[in-house]
Amino acid sequence: MKLMISVLSAAEAHDAIAGGAAILDIKNPAEGSLGAQPPAVIREIKKISAGKVAVSAAIGDMPNLPGTAALAALGAAACGVDYIKVGMHGPGNESEALSLLKEIRKAVREYPVSIVAAGYADHARSGAMNPACLPRVAESAGIQGCLLDTNIKDGCTLFDFLDPQQLRAMAERIHAAGLFFGLAGSLREQDLSPARNLGADIVGMRTAVCRDNQRSGPLEEARVRRLLQNPALNAD
């Protein structure tokens, strides 16, 4: 299971790399749970990574605007990222979600980038699409992965909204389709082992690596390094 650390700046990227993160996840919380950073920030962090770690860029808690989503994805791909993460907030049904993801895939088909559809475990309270359809939609769209997150950041974790049986079933469906599966959503160190046992290939974290467990930061290298000592991230 790979550790993905959310970073907001080049300085945080340095600390996350020094701490041993496998993936840098570039986002801008000021614009939402999966808010996007400007291209200049993405390019700077990509330069810092220098091939040492993979780089992911969020393109927003996306409304149901396939053209806008495709253009944003193309911009991220042109910055050289390895993963593009799109928050499936706006689509109201599977048909709309499929259309949006297909447009993104077509826009970036000339780039070596993986598209990740991010669903929200707290969809009922945030007005987002139910993530139960993600495995079907992602497979039909021809993208590479799915991730579950929380849309509202108020201290509740992913596990407050989805039980282990639901998560395990989703992981099995996603893996059966040949896709990778990620978990995020205010996860704590004690959530690493359950995440691995549920079949997560990637676990995304920010709050747990920030001073005083405050998502707004600052990110601390020592906290990243401590997470990497967890057996769930080191087991074969």
- By annotation, the residues acting in catalysis are 27, 85
Q: Which two structure tokens, joined as six digits, stand for 53? A: 């770690």
Q: How many CB atoms lie within 10 A of CB 56?
A: 28
**Burial readout 94-130 (b: 16 or more C-beta within 10 A, e: otherwise):** bebbbbbbbbbbebbeebebbbbbbbbbbbeebebbe
* Long-range contacts from 73-80, C-beta under 8 angstroms, 24+ separation: 73/104, 73/107, 73/108, 73/115, 74/107, 74/108, 75/39, 76/36, 76/42, 76/113, 77/107, 77/108, 77/111, 77/113, 78/39, 78/111, 79/39, 79/42, 79/43, 79/46, 80/43, 80/46, 80/55
